[in-house]
Amino acid sequence: MSKLCAVIDYGMGNLHSAHGALQAVAGADTRVLVTSDPEVIRSADHVVLPGVGAIRDCMAEIRRQGIDQVVAEVRKTKPLLGICVGLQAMMDSSEENGGVDCMGLFPGKVRFFGNDLVEDGTKLKVPHMGWNKVQQVEHPLWAGIADNSRFYFVHSYYVEAVNPSQVKGRGHYGVDFAAAMGEGNVFAVQFHPEKSHNAGLALLKNFLNWDGQA
Amino acid sequence: MALAKRIIPCLDVDKGRVVKGVNFVGIRDAGDPVEIAKRYNDQGADEITFLDITASHEGRDTTVHMVEAIAEQVFIPLTVGGGIRELADIRRMLNAGADKVSINSAAVYNPEFVREASQKFGAQCIVVAIDAKQVAEGRWEIFTHGGRKPTGINAVEWAVKMAEYGAGEILLTSMDRDGVKSGFDLGVTRAISDAVNIPVIASGGVGNLDHLVDGVKLGGADAVLAASIFHFGEYTVQQAKEHMAAAGIEMRL
C-alpha cells in the first residue's frame, strides 16, 4: 500500500526544499504532499511541521488555520517531525516578538541568543548561521549518522528545554541549546535537515522509516 | 567554537546557463548548472551562490527554472543574486527553491527595500551584497554597475546600516581585487566584520588556498566565496576545506 507524508503548509514561506528532500529519500511507495488541508494531514502516515520567519506570524497562522488542533491529534497517532520554527512552535512560549505563546508540546522556552554572545573572548554573530555539530542522544532518527555530525542552522532564537530527557540532540553556540527534541511520536530539530546534505537526508529517511513511539 | 567557517563556490548564470568559463576536468558540457551545482555539492561545498547576469525579463524565467531544477537535487543552501529589485523578485526565487537572495544595487537606490524584504521574508534569507573599492588609506566606498559608478557611500558605515535595516548577512566583494587573484582585501573585510554583528562573506581576489585562510584568520570573515579557483579544477572544494582545517580553522569535512 502506498504511504503518504504530509508537509504542513500554513503559508509561512517556502516548502520546496523540505518537499524536495523528503521526496528524494522517500521510497517509490511514498508520496510527499505539501498541504494545508486538515483531512489530508489526518490521513497521512507521516507529518512534517516546517517553519520559517517570525514566530508571532507563524503561531497566528497555525491557530487561524486550526493546525494546532491537527498537530495535537496527529502527535498521538503518527510520527511528527518539526523543523526550525516548527520546533520552536512546539515549545511553551518564545521570547521573540515581545513574547508569544506557542503550542506547548514540550515544556520549555525559546530564548534570544542576544547581542552580546561571546565564546572564549570572541564575539559571536547572530543569527547562528552555518554548519554546527549536534551531539546525539540515542534515538531511531540518528540511525547511521555519525555522532557530532554537522547540520545547517539558521536561527537567532534557541530552545531551552525544561525536561532534559526530551533533549535528543545537543547544540552549542555561546550557550548550550536543544538542537533536537523528542517524545513519543514527536521529533523536532532546530537545524534544517533538508539543507544539511547527506546527514540531513539520512535523518529524513530515518523519519520516513520510523513508526513512532520511540 | 564549533560553528564551521563556510566555503561558497559562486557561479555566474545567464538565462539559466552557467557562463564565464567553468571547466571541470571530465565535464564536457560545462554550462549545465545542475551538473555543476551537484559537482560542488559532492565536493562538500557548504552553500552555493548564483549570480544572475541575465539582462532580459524573459531570460529570468529560465533562471527560475534553473533554481527549481537545482533545488530538487542539491540539498545545501542556495543563494541567488543579481537583478533582485522588488519583493516579487524575492518571492519568485524563494518559491523556486532558493534559500536566500542577495540584494545589491537595489539596496543602494532604496535602502528601505532591505527593511521591507527582511520584515516580509525574514532576515535569514536577505543577503546584502556590497561592492567596495578603496579610495584612501583605511577608507572604502560603495561602487555600483560592476565597480564603475562611485556612490560616495562609506562601505563600513553602509554595512552597519544594512545590518540595522535587517540584512541577515553581508556579501562583501572587493572591486579592486575581483579577478586579480591576489587575495581578499583584508582591510575592508576586517573593518566590516568587526563593525557588524551578522555574518560576513568575503569575496573577490582568491587566487590560492592561503587566501581563503587569510580571509578568515586575518579578515575575520565567517565564510569565503570563490569562483575561478574551483571552476578550472585548480582546486576542489574538498582540498580547500582540508587546507583551511589544517590551518586550524573549524570546517565541515
Phi, psi of B129, rounded to the nearest 5 degrees:
-90, 130
Helix (H) or strand (E) holding B41: helix B33-43
Residues of chain B with a CB closer than 8 angstroms to some CB in chain A: 1-6, 41, 46, 68, 71-73, 75-77, 94-97, 99, 121-125, 168-169, 197-199, 222-223, 252
**pLDDT value, residue B149:** 86
> Residues of B157-180 as b/e, b for ≥16 C-beta within 10 angstroms?
ebbbbbbebbbbbbbbbbbbbbee
Buried b / exposed e over A169-197, threshold 16 CB at 10 Å, is: bbbbbbeebbbbbbbebbbbbbbbbbbbb
Considering only CB atoms, B46 lies closest to which of A126, A131, A133, namely A131
**Is residue B59 predicted with pLDDT exceeding 90?**
no
Residue B106 domain-assigned (yes or no): yes
- Distances B103 to B32, B83, B109 between C-alpha atoms, Å: 25, 8, 11
B-chain CB neighbours of A17 within 8 Å are 71, 75, 97, 99
Q: Which three cell numbers stand for residue A167?
A: 533533549
Contact A130 B41 (CB under 8 A): no
CB contacts, 8 Å: A24 with chain B: 72-73, 75
Interface test with B, best of A15, A16, A132 (most B CBs within 10 A): A16
> Which of A13, A120, A130 lies nearest to residue B6, judging by beta carbons?
A130
Q: Are B13 and B53 within 8 A, CB to CB?
A: yes
**Dihedral angle computed from the Cα positions of residues B154, B99, B231 and B202, in that order, rounded to the nearest 10 degrees:** 30
Alpha helices by DSSP H, chain A: 16-25, 38-43, 55-64, 67-77, 85-88, 197-208
How many H-runs (helices) and E-runs (strands) does chain B carry? 10, 11
CATH class, range A3-208: alpha beta
Query: Does A197 contact B41 at a Cβ distance shorter than 8 Å?
Result: yes
Measured between CA atoms, how close is A213 to chain B, in angstroms?
Answer: 28
Grid coordinates standing for B206?
582568491
pLDDT in tens, A139-161: 999 999 999 999 999 999 999 99
Report how many helices (DSSP H) and strands (DSSP E) chain A contains, helices first.
6, 16
| A147 touches B at CB < 8 Å | no
pLDDT in tens, B95-154: 888 999 999 999 999 999 999 999 888 888 999 999 999 999 999 999 987 778 899 999
Exposure of A36 by Cβ count < 10 A (0-12 exposed, 13-18 middle, 19+ buried)? middle
In A81-99, which positions are buried (b, 16+ CB within 10 angstroms) versus exposed (e)?
bbbbbbbbbbbebbebeee
Asked if the Cβ–Cβ distance from A13 to B76 is below 8 Å, we say no
Give the C-alpha distances (Å, rounded to integers) separating B225 from A84, B38, B209. Answer: 26, 17, 12
Among A6-15, A40-49, B58-67, the range of highest mean pLDDT: A40-49
Would B251 be classed as within a structural domain? no
Give the CATH number for residue B180.
Answer: 3.20.20.70
Residues in CB range of B253: below 8 A, 6 or more apart: B44, B241, B242, B245
- Domain encompassing residue B18: 6-246
Asked if A120 reaches chain B (Cβ–Cβ under 8 Å), the answer is yes
Shortest Cα–Cα distance, B149 to chain A (Å): 31
pLDDT, tens digit, 9 for 90 and up, residues B144-184: 877 788 999 999 999 999 999 999 999 999 988 877 889 99
Annotated domain spans of chain A: 3-208
What is the four-CA torsion angle of A80, A86, A90, A91, rounded to 10 degrees?
140
Q: At what angle do helices B209-217 and B237-246 cross, to 10 degrees?
A: 50
Nearest to B95 among A14, A125, A152 (CB): A14
Question: Closest Cα of chain A to B100: distance in Å?
Answer: 11
- Tell me the average pLDDT across A161-190: 98
Q: In chain A, what's the furthest Cα-to-Cα distance?
A: 57
- Per-residue CA distances from B244 to A23, B42, B143, B184 (Å): 34, 18, 31, 15
pLDDT averaged over every residue in chain B: 91
pLDDT value at position B23?
56
Residue A13 has pLDDT above 80, yes or no: no
Q: What does the pLDDT read at residue B22?
A: 55
Cβ of residue A175 closer than 8 Å to a chain B Cβ = no
Q: What is the pLDDT of residue B88?
A: 93
Residues of chain B with C-beta less than 8 angstroms from the C-beta of A9: none
Non-local (6+) Cβ contacts of B179 within 8 A are B204, B205, B228
Question: pLDDT tens digits for B22-54?
Answer: 555 555 445 788 988 999 999 999 999 999 888
Q: What is the pLDDT of residue B28?
A: 47
Q: Which three cell numbers stand for residue A211?
A: 513508526
B22 domain-assigned: yes
* Closest residue by Cα to residue A56 from A91, A108, A94: A94
Query: Are the CB atoms for B186 and B216 separated by under 8 Å?
Result: no
Q: Which residue, among B101, B160, B103, B145, has the nearest Cα to B128 in the 3D structure? A: B103
Chain mean position to CA B152 = 23
Is there a domain that residue B139 lies in? yes
Q: Please, which pLDDT band fits residue A193 given cuts at 50, 70 and 90?
A: very high
B206 is a domain residue:
yes
* pLDDT score at A16: 83
CB within 8 Å of chain B, chain A residues 11-30: 13-14, 16-17, 20-21, 24
Number of domains, chain B: 1
Q: Is A192 a catalytic residue?
A: yes
Residue A214 has pLDDT above 70, yes or no: no
B50 located within any domain: yes
d(CA B187, CA B179): 18
DSSP β-bridge partners for residue A151: A132
Report whether pLDDT(B10) > 60.
Answer: yes
Query: Do the Cβ atoms of B120 and B113 come closer than 8 Å?
Result: no
User: What's the pLDDT score for residue B243?
Assistant: 98
Which positions of B are catalytic? 12, 131
> Within a domain: residue B253?
no
Q: According to the model, what pLDDT value does residue B30 have?
A: 53
Q: What is the mean pLDDT of chain A?
A: 94
Measured between CB atoms, which of B41, B72, B123 is closest to A20? B72
Residues of A within 8 A of B95 (CB-CB) are 14, 16
User: Which of A49-53, A162-166, B178-182, B202-206 has maximum average pLDDT?
Assistant: A162-166
